[in-house]
Chains A and B, each alone.
Chain A
Amino acid sequence: DAKTTQPPSMDCAEGRAANLPCNHSTISGNEYVYWYRQIHSQGPQYIIHGLKNNETNEMASLIITEDRKSSTLILPHATLRDTAVYYCIVRVAINYGGSQGNLIFGKGTKLSVKP
């Protein structure tokens, strides 16, 4: 079973920030938080990941609470193309050159960006 809990759906107005929450209360100290999204009829796409510090890249920002039991993915200016299912995943870091752990997906949050 997935180790994360996400709301099944959310709406966001185009141009506004989309804040997607994720609960991972049983996360271990060596587990990262990853976010992927899946646009309809496509494969999942990596967005961002983090361990304990907040992270930002060209797609999004990731805010992780101090106790690491929850996080929020922020899309600062949502567009219609951001409509997708967003998956929050926790995953243990693998030693360099070792076996890459598989991703355990839940059902994710279906984000609908509306004009």
Chain B
Amino acid sequence: DAGVTQSPTHLIKTRGQQVTLRCSPKSGHDTVSWYQQALGQGPQFIFQYYEEEERQRGNFPDRFSGHQFPNYSSELNVNALLLGDSALYLCASNDRRLAAYNEQFFGPGTRLTVL
């Protein structure tokens, strides 16, 4: 049973460019959440998707957008990249049809470096 997978593993971009990160949830999971983790900090919640719609959003600008596909996979898009967007981007999935306290499973992350 594959866990949460993310691609690419590493990415280098320059300021002003746009980037798309991809996530496939754990088999059977319908909800995907994205987090940003700067060096030395804990992950910060960006947004959450289920039923192909954004359901919750953290304190991130509109440059951060996402999408969820019918197969539950998801993309995170960041426009007009800034140096401060350099971070590890984590995807987490869960099945919201299960008990309310079920845990989120995280992928290994995509390391984005903005030069």
Contact = CB atoms under 8 A, between A and B. Distances in A.
Interface of A: 2, 32, 34, 41-46, 49, 85, 87, 93-108
B42 A98 contact: no
A99 B96 contact: yes
Nearest to B41: A107
A99 B42 contact: no
Contacts of B12: none
Interface of B: 4, 31, 33, 35, 40-45, 48, 50, 55-56, 58, 90, 92, 94, 96-97, 99-109
A99 B45 contact: no
B90 A44 contact: yes
A9 to B, nearest CB: 12
A87 B100 CA distance: 20
B101 A93 contact: yes
A80 B53 CA distance: 42
A100 B44 contact: no
Contacts of B40: 107
B100 A96 contact: yes
Contact of B42 (A45, A95, A106): A106
A93 B50 CA distance: 18
Contacts of B45: 102-104
11 contacts: A2-B42, A34-B103, A44-B92, A45-B106, A94-B96, A97-B96, A99-B50, A102-B33, A102-B58, A103-B92, A107-B42
Given A42-B108, A87-B42, A102-B33, A93 B103 contact: no
Contacts of A44: 43, 90, 92, 106
